[in-house]
Structure 1
């Protein structure tokens, strides 16, 4: 059995700086209730729940959902690094499409700590051993935090290979700020110019400034996923469907290619994108709006090419021509993306789903991409997993 999968409802709370948010379970409960309200269903209709978070003890999903309802349903807790939210969405979609369930909740939240992301368990091997080894070999700079070395190294690899200028990454960050100015749920809504980004403190000389990196934030988002039959039976909004979805993990090329762009998931994105285009019977040129994983401005630029939005080596021209914003070929991150909205790891993938659902409904207010019918979502977690989701409007 293969059911058409509907995004019946979405919910999201405003993201906040670490220390300024409510506890994870309160944020999660609020996002779940918002999604249920948007869908117009009671929690009793939910047959399964997939709950994503990275930093938390086991069964935090139950802690967040029990105030919403204690109905005895399966609640599965998901952790896939920064792609955790979309991994929960992947499992929810799979349950509905397979016929295992008719109506499922995907929820993601994160209560972050200030500062750079770091391991929670120092008494055991890290899953990043090989990533760290290849990064030491290719870029060095052991004094720089690892996430900056990963993605800064990938940006530098693109600069070295194609002559990409640092100002191009700054222009991506400036674009994000212009988009976020119209998003009441974004953490940073102040517009900044390319010059402002270039003038911000240098984190890695000639490679990255502070404004090119997304901030750690706290937040939550959720989606109600159901079958087309369930939506019709209960009179739910069936305007947005998941036309195709793929999850990929690392290939041998992640390490064997000796290429930092591949270390940070270029090949995972390219293969997942290929799978969804083929499954949906469309190409990158048919996509109207994209929410992609811009944890660093460098990764947004690399992902343009990975998803086929522009040719390999063509990302700088893509940016300079304005093809990544309103009036261009495809509007990328109309929400402001991770760079402006923030990046609460477990919530990010479902926050992207929230944005694209509203875009395809035509309810994105000042952020609306006019005539949007096809939307693409890319959510990446190193270690690694990449989820690409293609949505269509009815």
Structure 2
């Protein structure tokens, strides 16, 4: 695995609310067309594809890709909960790095329904069923709160109890996200809100969460074309962005024992994945100036600062209040607006992160450009569990 893996092309469509989007076939096909155009190649050059989605029947990936071409290549459908898009990218990168293929597509899309996430199956065990007593034990007072809010809100509350973190700090994260998204034409929510606006929104869990602290269900699609450096040069493709390192981790035993909501929502998965990427790339958290991370809830963004080593454990509130998570600070987090403002179509999210950071490294991110950027990191988390951390860099 010695050849460089190049991000030759990226595509993404504007994210929309459920019911306002085209079908997943149209969204997926359009993101693919954009990635091919951005790369400057035809679909006939793609040798393998990984298509990610969570809510759909078998072979939805083929159904979307066939709208663009039918060349008989291997197409693998990927479902890894909210980390599905970056898992597709992980597999595409591995295929190129191992020499299995020279040009590979990673595609992600989601056609979602309104409301909180829930299982489509009621006749079999839910994922993580054996570990649900952890949630039931630690958040027994929030039995009427929807599952995802209870889970991530419970982790945020644990941080509040351990370190004195204030609810207003989570609100400040959401306000920051809105300021960033205002400069992203592909984001779902572009309205700028203040910390006070977030605090005064509908209360979902008293003392813990308001509605604006949760990301919205969203429809959308994104895609990336990755290839070997040799292939890129042979076909005259750009080689300015590469994947420097990548890691996919799953739950260690400590995610569930001793019982902790912070551990339950993937803190150790993220910590382990980040450490592996730092070791592989030769860069540390002190070198990272831009990161797209999995802010499905404002609470998880705060926890992820600490898991990735961007600030000390217990130091996230100071990191936020000092302005070190935005322009002018140490690390610009979610310059795209993140899941909180950009939206979170599960299968597309990891590839939307790739889209954003590719443009940031190219210097083509417009009003949200992070100046002088040479490396950037992405963090994509799915409970169940899987976490993918990727380090991108200028080639």
TM-score category, normalised to shorter length: over 0.9
Residue pair 1:2, 1:97 contacting (<8 A) in 2 also = yes
Structure 2 equivalent of residue 145 of structure 1: 146
Structure 1 equivalent of residue 12 of structure 2: 12
Structure 2 equivalent of residue 240 of structure 1: 241
Measured after TM superposition, the shift of residue 2 of structure 1 is: 2.5
CA distance in 2, matches of 1:298, 1:124: 30
Residue pair 1:2, 1:99 contacting (<8 A) in 2 also = no
Cα offsets for 1:71-121 (capped at 9, x unmatched): 000000000000000000000000000110000000000000000111011
Measured after TM superposition, the shift of residue 131 of structure 1 is: 3.8
Residue pair 2:5, 2:243 contacting (<8 A) in 1 also = yes
CA distance in 2, matches of 1:387, 1:266: 12
Matches within 5 A, 1:30-49: 30-49=30-49
CA distance in 1, matches of 2:170, 2:204: 14
CA distance in 1, matches of 2:254, 2:196: 36
CA distance in 2, matches of 1:300, 1:226: 31
CA distance in 1, matches of 2:130, 2:270: 20
Q: Does 1:25 align with 2:25?
A: yes
Structure 2 equivalent of residue 50 of structure 1: 50
Residue pair 1:203, 1:210 contacting (<8 A) in 2 also = yes
Alignment partner of 1:256: what SS?
coil
> Runs in 1 of length 4+ with deviation above 4 angstroms?
none
Alignment partner of 1:68: what SS?
coil
Q: Does 1:251 align with 2:270?
A: no
Matches within 5 A, 1:230-379: 230-379=231-380
CA distance in 2, matches of 1:99, 1:71: 20
Cα offsets for 1:225-270 (capped at 9, x unmatched): 0001111111111110000000000000011021101100000000
Matches within 5 A, 1:19-168: 19-140=19-140, 141-168=142-169
Cα offsets for 1:136-177 (capped at 9, x unmatched): 011112111110111000000100000000000000000000
CA distance in 2, matches of 1:279, 1:119: 36
TM-score (norm 1): 0.99
Residue pair 2:134, 2:260 contacting (<8 A) in 1 also = no
Alignment partner of 2:329: what SS?
coil
CA distance in 2, matches of 1:359, 1:258: 39
Gap regions ≥5 residues in structure 2 = none
Residue pair 1:55, 1:110 contacting (<8 A) in 2 also = yes
Tell me: CA distance 1:131–1:182, structure 2 relative to 1, closer, same or farther (3 Å).
Answer: farther
Residue pair 2:277, 2:390 contacting (<8 A) in 1 also = yes
CA distance in 1, matches of 2:175, 2:229: 40
Residue pair 1:349, 1:379 contacting (<8 A) in 2 also = yes
Q: Is the deviation greater in 266-275 or in 252-261?
A: 252-261
